[in-house]
Structure 1
Amino acid sequence: MKVAIIGAGISGLAAAFEFKKHNITPVIFEKKSHIGNPVLFTSATLHIFNHFISDPFDYLKNNYGLNISPTFHLKKIIMHSPKNKAVIKGDLGYIINRMRTEGSLANQLFSQVALPIQFNSFVDLNDIKDQFDYIIVATGSNLIVKDLNLWTNLFSAQIRSTTIVGNFNTQSISMWLNREYAKDGFGYIIPINPKEAILNLVVNRITFHEIDYYWENFLYKENLDYRIIETRDASFECGLVSTHQLDNIYFIGNSAGFTDSLVGFGQIKAIESGILAAQAIINNLDYNKLVEPISKEMLKIHEFRKLFNSFSNKDLDRLLSFLKLPGIKQFIYNNPFFKVKYGAFIAKFYNNFVNN
């Protein structure tokens, strides 16, 4: 069996991990010269966005034998709207190191894979599709699925990502919601360590050249005067693919549309999709059926994205007031059985709240 994996990010490495368990050595192509993100970068995962009840890292260990760990526990989320503030506390999720440093999520996976990787390899799918029995696309990009006319876009945004210096609680995330500078997006701070953090602004419905204006507005309105030591701009898209398998080609991670359109999280789903793609190949299973629970959750989360897109600044203020109601924060964030996919009940309760 000849298998190629295009991309040595977390989803590609997860697929390689599963192949190695079955004594199959895939050929792994990676365009970068190293594992992990080349810039200072952390992300998060929230328990309410998982399609299973248990802790995500316990889930991966118990179901797939993959032993990885997060960087920090997430115990607090501070949410700001134009005229309101809500503080959510509890066992909310995790903060995850996505950098190239030792202990990052990608390097934890790489240490368990321990297979050769062809770094600095820019691979064209058409050049290799006849050389391998199976190809897994794990590029972290939607370019290939777009070229194959499989992609439906759900949310597009411009992102300014900066590294800032200060004093930060490594168990806390801050988020800002304001239509004036973020439109349907948001600003947020995620710590890297006690002295450094990521300050990002995500803005949709603007061009790449307009991000400067919204960024300056964001910093001014929220009185954010951190020392910035690195700045990066990027475009990002979330979407769906019409099939996750096309002939002998399998799509995983963000290349498969497994980044949610509400807040842009997808690490756990990326890892699981890589493992499931490998299992589908090894056991001759229907990959589309294996990832169906993930696909369904993506659609349900997108319903919240569509609702959020309709909010005005007054609606955002009301949303935070709603989240501060007695019992609501605890029910949503601290209830292990509550998931976003079960949110119809909460949405109905919220509608009653704002209409009374």
Structure 2
Amino acid sequence: MRIAIDAMGGDNAPQEIVAGSLDAARAYPDVTLILVGDEGQIKQCAGANLPTNIEIVHTTEKIEAEDEPVKAVRRKKDSSMVVAARMVKDGLADGMVSAGNTGALMTAGLLIVGRVKGIERPALASIWPTMGGNSMLTLDVGANMDAEANHLYQYALMANAYAQIVLEQEKPRIGLLNIGAEPGKGDKLRKEAYPLLEAGPFHFVGNIEAREAMNDKCDVLVADGFTGNNMLKLIEGFGLGIFGELKKIFYKSALTKLAALALKSGLSAFKKKFDYAEYGGAPLLGIDGAVIKAHGSSNARAFRMAIHQARAFLKGDVLGKIRTDLSAGGEEKA
């Protein structure tokens, strides 16, 4: 199993990316990690004793966070992200992980790696914690701003395969993000998608309102990219705000500091539950390879978890299951 690593992508590249890759290489001897990027910088970060399952492919360019995605992918042909994507396309790597420019990664996935046959539009999936302690896979969170009903059906089909294999959920509950729980609610898109999802070869549990989404009502939450991305950013912003306000309260006086000390273990567990580093990256489902988007500000642990996710994706043959499910009835919905 060979996974290409965009060593130059992300806010903390290449230091944290290389550190996370070294940790993953030592933890997973069955995986060869190919660090793609500036060889001098990578070696400076990695030190002298590289694990035997680490390779380096030198590139001279990198895609910056502010670069326009399509132009960057087309013009920066020797960038770490583009070269990693080309390796997946050419069969030199089975998958890739990048913490770089999200739009550019989606563009590279589409234009270079290509789509799974039968999937009209790939979707970016994100793993969210729920109040019940379980994980919820939400898609699309930004790959496509516009969607049709059959696209939402395909999102559910792909997410069902991913949740079964990577998240080890035997019978994932599939929900449709909507403004009401009753069938027939919502706009034209949701009304058309509901019967398709209801007839799908997965466990559809109906509409899920946004206020109920974090209460362990489903294992997979299906949305169009515009709605899903807005919900993702709202939850991220609210979470950061909550932790910020709690910090102000607990550091207000000597008495509140004592209270914080007494609650330290519980607060640490609560914060860990909502820490993106614990969940790895976001798979770009529908691309013909394991393409994982790590958080842009990933530290070494977060990036190692993203590699863990790519490894589980490949070991479980998620793409094979998606293709099987499509041939068993998915394509006729398109």
The TM-score, its normalising length taken from structure 1, stands at 0.28
Higher strand share: 1
**Normalised by the size of structure 2, how large is the TM-score?**
0.29
Larger relative helix fraction: 2
